[in-house]
Chains A and B, each alone.
Chain A
């Protein structure tokens, strides 16, 4: 058998017509400095970087915000990465639609990571406001990346509203718990084949990301696990390897787990008799 080493990289994928070779989407918040953020993005190989908006006048902004954004734009331009603005902090469809319109102007993109939070403690998305906001934004020409729960029916409603990608959570934002409900994510993947889906939020370790990718998810979006690591660029690289490994494993075809042993050495069932 001849080895094809091009197969050592996961296959490219598309979201809203955009080809992406990396399956790692990375957040830009909470890094120790803009320089560390730049190194982490480079180490991640990510082609999508999330950003946000804050209610402040440019002159009043903390200087590090301006530095980080200027650096982010430069790093993303040179790497060919796209910015994905979010609607973090929104509690209603009305707020989210307004913030998305502002984001489109500020970042010059139709892409929007739609966040509409329904609970302060878990930061769980509000499914009703989320679907309402998604439908409005699609009508306004946005390409919506909804941050949602792993509820199949809500996901179907988001698709019906015009979303072409889904971003179910693994666990509450920033909790680092990993995939809390593998069965729900398996169900989503099985019932919505062909829909680009990104596991977003709650991952804490590279192994969590590999697991999500082995379930057949198309990508992983995370922030805190890298930004709050002792060495963010190194952690970004660790996640990049894990995400690629998980995807390769999925594409290669995992064996089905079973309760009983199956001998791997084909020595037959005859006992080995030593005279």
Chain B
């Protein structure tokens, strides 16, 4: 609380997000890795995922909940040397 703040104003609520490859994605209770892929229009078979640097296999995406500020990374296949 700083001098001049309105002590009677309701507390400011920052919307909760998860980070998907560094970009904010809206969080809600019960959100899973599989949900994020669906909401981003990503083909489940064409990507690999990790949450907070831990690998999440395809078979576990529906049972892997996300929490505010979790970092989901999604990798796709590319050409390589």
Identify the A interface with B (CB < 8 A). Answer: 27-31, 37, 50-59, 61, 65, 68-69, 72, 85-86, 88, 94, 98-99, 101-103, 105-107, 173-174, 223-224
Q: Find chain B residues with CB under 8 A from A58 CB.
A: 42-43, 46-47, 76
Task: Judge whether B41 and A59 touch: CB under 8 Å.
Answer: yes
- Considering the complex, give the chain A residue whose CB is closest to the CB of B73: A55
Q: Find chain A residues with CB under 8 A from B77 CB.
A: 51-53, 65, 69, 85, 106-107
Count of B interface residues, CB-CB < 8 Å: 25
Given contact pairs A51-B79, A54-B75, A59-B42, A94 touches B53 in the complex (Cβ within 8 A): yes
Q: Which of A27, A59, A72, A94 contacts B81 (CB 8 A)?
A: A27
Given contact pairs A53-B75, A57-B21, A57-B76, A29 touches B81 in the complex (Cβ within 8 A): yes
Identify the B interface with A (CB < 8 A). Answer: 20-21, 40-43, 46-50, 53-55, 57-58, 73-81
Show 9 residue pairs from A and B whose CB-CB distance is below 8 angstroms, ordered by the A residue.
A29-B78, A51-B77, A53-B75, A55-B73, A88-B80, A98-B50, A101-B48, A102-B48, A105-B48
CB distance from B5 to the nearest CB of A (A): 40
Task: Judge whether B75 and A99 touch: CB under 8 Å.
Answer: yes
Task: Judge whether A28 and B74 touch: CB under 8 Å.
Answer: no
Given contact pairs A58-B43, A98-B53, A98-B55, A53 touches B78 in the complex (Cβ within 8 A): yes
Q: Which of B50, B58, B80 contacts A28 (CB 8 A)?
A: B80
Docked CA distance A27–B77 (Å)? 14
Docked CA distance A52–B78 (Å)? 5
Interface centre among A28, A72, A105 (most CB of B within 10 A): A105
- Considering the complex, give the chain B residue whose CB is closest to the CB of A52: B80
- Considering the complex, give the chain B residue whose CB is closest to the CB of A223: B81
Q: A54-B76, A88-B81, A103-B48 are in contact. List 11 more A-B contacts (CB 8 A).
A: A30-B81, A52-B77, A52-B80, A53-B80, A54-B78, A56-B21, A57-B40, A59-B43, A72-B79, A85-B80, A98-B54
Q: Find chain A residues with CB under 8 A from B42 CB.
A: 57-59
Interface centre among A58, A101, A174, A224 (most CB of B within 10 A): A58
Docked CA distance A100–B43 (Å)? 20
Q: Which of B53, B58, B76 contacts A53 (CB 8 A)?
A: B76
